[in-house]
Amino acid sequence: MRLPVILLPASLAALLLTFHGWAQQRHPITFADLMAFGRVSEPQISPDGKSVVFSINRVDLAKNAGDSDIWMVPITGGAARQLTQGDKRDNNPRWSPDAKRLAFISSRDGSPQIWILEVASGEARKLTSLSTGADGVIWSPDGKHLAFTSDVYPDCRDDACNAQRDKAAESSKIKAKVFERLLYRHWNAWKDGKRTHIFIVPADGGAPRDLTPGDYDAPPFSLGGPADYAFSPDGKEFCFARNTDKVEATSTNGDLWIVPVQGGEPRKITANPAYDGSPLYSPDGRYIAYRAQKRPGFESDRYEIMLFDRAAGTSKSITAGLDRSVDEMTWAPDSRSIYFTAEDESYSSIFRVGIGGEAPLRVIDRSYNSEVQVSPDGKTLVFTRQSISRPPEIYGAGVEGRDVKPLTMVNEAVLGRIEFGAVESVIYKGAEGANIQAWIVKPPSFSPSEKYPAIFLIHGGPQGAWADNFSYRWNLQMFASRGYVVFAVNPRGSTGFGQRFTDEISGDWGGRVYQDLMNGADYLEKLPYVTAGRVAAAGASYGGYMVDWIAGHTNRFRCLVSHDGVYNLASMFGATEELWFPMWEFKGTPWDNPGLYAKWSPSSYVKNFKTPTLVVHGELDYRVPVTQGFEFFAALQLMNVPSKFLYFPDEGHWVLKPQNSQLWYQTVLDWIDRWTEGN
């Protein structure tokens, strides 16, 4: 049993840390350090404005698993108090409107279910017992109901039917799958005929009721971000996103629907053929704010904030003039403005926009902030903040962005024993003279008079970015810890630098973006502290694609690492699941536009392969199927290129299990060490 833990106030913790640091030698970050960090997330301000609850996930490397617990800290800062304990998942905390209870998701009894915690007494009771589990819980503003999601068989009318169907599938010796349409699997899981539905359950207990029946996902699949459903302020109406297009695999559509909480037929309120989602009712009930994209089929189109006037039945954009894509958002309590986050040139800034047409204003920038909340009195912002050298913590600030201070210091003890490399942002000229931003992370104990080997990192997406945030999968400081200068580039296609810059990679995967990268490699090798010719290149997903492309177009790197890389564009199209993605990027299907697929496919340039390459892939990766890695490795072997394959039978597009992650870092860094040794 773990004893209750009290986190010290920030000032006292820092003071004790200072004394401790004098007696302790700092060292470059290790994998054990990386796993020792508490992963802080999900801040939620109490309705009385006094407290913030949040979750901390901790990893047990020996158990090869993690668990999360819920904590609470005063909104003014101070000692944090642990509210739940155990070796299972407790997360997704949400305050009741009276600030006396917390709903949360817990797997302490097996499957994830909704539990209710009495904050004063610490007593918790189980609210749901669905065989299909529960997730994404929220309260109705009147405190009478909770809404949540569960994956169910759409033709089942009750939980007994779902339980029987799952039990039969699990016990059957036949594991064959039969499907008649796209999508039949997604990212790392088979759909198996199930749909995500939104349920509502009385807060005092009772049978959950399906609010979104039918053979559709509600909400549509998401990799994270704002919830795609919300209650109206009076608790009588419910708004949610749903995609009813016939072929989901080719559609990025999502529309908003409303339904009475007491039941009834849902009514669609948006008709945009691209994505509409993330609804939020204004506190006064007049508007529904939501995020929308304009171009169907393009998942990386800019998100704008739209306002749906409930009385007039019309929508308008209030961020049309901002060349940034909106992430999370929250209403100010007076219903006159909205705070939101957006990627902003390798950072994530907090903005405020009024509903009357005022231009959005950066409130907090030049830092990476997310999960922003506004206190009930409208005076305080609460959010998470992180950087390349610091994992997330909870911060508070005035609504004008002043007086930023940490509310938690969960990771100070671990940080106190680590010596990180210095981080620098640089700009250089890419193709056609474009400004290209890159991060340089120097090795710990860096000396400008010495020469170092380097690692050139290429991000995934391709519409993604190396931002000033902390990653557990591709941690820049972990690469630098082995004595490398790390160079992480944001070329064409990167997000946060304006929509045109993001758009310029589509249909041009190995064109200007490749020149952006090679100009970056030139810049890197001209740095006075880098040994030219001792540079490795590595990347995942699109970054893996670009590594495969590099293998056929240049021999300038000592070695390559391709993780989940796209190798053969034509065969990738036939095996991936989100078909809208290649159809947008390559202007149609391989049979409609074979020339573009062949032009930008690394498989077309096999005869040029010479650079030693490590290939990494997971069997459960349905986004970039594992056959892409197998095909690439076969070509390397047949071309007599020194190569190795790191295969994970139990991982998808990301390596998530702690011991697998440890093997990943060890294998990748050992490969780079092997080939970059010597002058």
Q: What is the pLDDT of residues 314-328, one digit of tens each?
A: 999 999 999 999 999
What percent of the chain stands above pLDDT 90? 94
CA 238: distance to chain centroid? 26
Token representation of residue 586:
């390559």
Mean pLDDT lowest among 8-12, 26-30, 110-114, 672-676: 8-12
Greater model confidence, 574 or 22: 574
The CA distance from 347 to 336, in Å, is 26
From 28, 35, 36, select the one nearest 421 (Cα to Cα): 28
Average pLDDT over residues 223-240: 91
For residue 330, being part of any structural domain is answered with no
Residue 224 binned pLDDT confidence (cut-offs 50, 70, 90): low
CA 598: distance to chain centroid? 31
Query: What does each C-alpha distance from 523 to 301, 431, 436, 530, 552 come to in angstroms?
Result: 30, 13, 11, 10, 22
The CA distance from 606 to 633, in Å, is 11
- Number of domains making up the chain: 1
Residue 678 binned pLDDT confidence (cut-offs 50, 70, 90): confident
Q: Are 59 and 67 in contact (CB under 8 A)?
A: no
The CA distance from 264 to 471, in Å, is 44
pLDDT, position 336: 98
Q: What is the DSSP string of 628-675?
A: HHHHHHHHHHHTT--EEEEEETT--SS--SHHHHHHHHHHHHHHHHHH
Beta pairing, strands 530-540 & 452-458: parallel
Question: Is 2 a residue whose pLDDT tops 60?
Answer: no
Which amino acid, residue 110? G
Q: Are 202 and 128 in contact (CB under 8 A)?
A: no
- What is the tens place of the pLDDT at every residue in 625-635? 999 999 999 99
CA 485: distance to chain centroid? 26
Phi, psi (deg, nearest 5) at residue 123: -75, 140
Beta pairing, strands 189-190 & 195-202: unpaired
The CA distance from 619 to 501, in Å, is 33
Beta pairing, strands 452-458 & 613-618: unpaired
pLDDT, position 116: 98
The CA distance from 607 to 278, in Å, is 48
What percent of the chain stands above pLDDT 70? 96
To the nearest 10°, report the CA torsion of 105, 109, 111, 117.
-10
The CA distance from 515 to 513, in Å, is 5
Cα angle, residue 61 at apex, residues 57 and 62 outer, rounded to 5°:
130
Average pLDDT over residues 467-480: 98
Cβ atoms within 10 A of the Cβ of 121, count?
8
DSSP state of 66: E
DSSP state of 9: P
Average pLDDT, the chain: 95
Token representation of residue 417:
């024993």
Helices (H) and strands (E) in the chain, counts: 13, 39
Q: Look-up: residue for tokens 């049993």? A: 1
From 362, 373, 288, select the one nearest 333 (Cα to Cα): 373
Q: Is 463 helix (H, G, I), strand (E, B) or coil?
A: coil
For residue 10, being part of any structural domain is answered with no
Q: Count how many residues are written for the chain.
A: 679
Compute the chain's Rg from CA coordinates.
25
Average pLDDT over residues 7-32: 61
Question: Is 22 a residue whose pLDDT tops 80?
Answer: no
Q: Is 414 helix (H, G, I), strand (E, B) or coil?
A: helix
For residue 519, being part of any structural domain is answered with yes
Instruction: Name the maximum alpha-carbon separation found in the chain.
Output: 73
The CA distance from 389 to 383, in Å, is 18
Contact residues for 647 (Cβ-Cβ < 8 A; gap 6+): 616, 617, 618, 619, 626, 629
For residue 17, being part of any structural domain is answered with no
Q: Are 378 and 399 in contact (CB under 8 A)?
A: yes
Q: Where are the alpha helices (DSSP H) in 70-200?
A: 159-171
Question: Is 425 a residue whose pLDDT tops 50?
Answer: yes
Residue 395 binned pLDDT confidence (cut-offs 50, 70, 90): very high
Task: Look up the CATH number of the domain holding residue 607.
Answer: 3.40.50.1820
Question: Is 9 a residue whose pLDDT tops 80?
Answer: no
Residue 263 binned pLDDT confidence (cut-offs 50, 70, 90): confident
The CA distance from 138 to 424, in Å, is 41
Phi, psi (deg, nearest 5) at residue 578: -85, 80
296 prior amide bond cis, ω within 30: no
Cα angle, residue 600 at apex, residues 596 and 606 outer, rounded to 5°:
130
Catalytic residue positions, numbered = 541, 621, 653
For residue 351, being part of any structural domain is answered with no
Token representation of residue 142:
């009147």
Classify burial at 272, counting beta carbons within 10 Å of its beta carbon; exposed 0-12, middle 13-18, buried 19 or more: middle
For residue 77, being part of any structural domain is answered with no
Cα angle, residue 671 at apex, residues 668 and 676 outer, rounded to 5°:
125
Helix (H) or strand (E) holding 545: helix 542-551
What is the chain's percent helix, strand, coil content, to nearest 5? 20, 35, 45
Q: Look-up: residue for tokens 């694609």? A: 545
Question: Is 438 a residue whose pLDDT tops 50?
Answer: yes
The CA distance from 101 to 90, in Å, is 15
Which amino acid, residue 236? K
What residue numbers bound the domain in which 507 lies? 420-676
Classify burial at 627, counting beta carbons within 10 Å of its beta carbon; exposed 0-12, middle 13-18, buried 19 or more: middle
- What is the tens place of the pLDDT at every residue in 622-665? 999 999 999 999 999 999 999 999 999 999 999 999 999 999 99
The CA distance from 529 to 480, in Å, is 14
pLDDT, position 3: 31
Q: Is the dihedral of CA 318, 254, 137, 214 positive or negative?
A: positive
- What is the tens place of the pLDDT at every residue in 452-463? 999 999 999 999
Question: Is 274 a residue whose pLDDT tops 80?
Answer: yes
pLDDT, position 357: 83
- The HSE-up count of residue 130 (CA atoms within 13 Å, CB side) is 33
Residue 226 binned pLDDT confidence (cut-offs 50, 70, 90): confident
For residue 574, being part of any structural domain is answered with yes
For residue 207, being part of any structural domain is answered with no
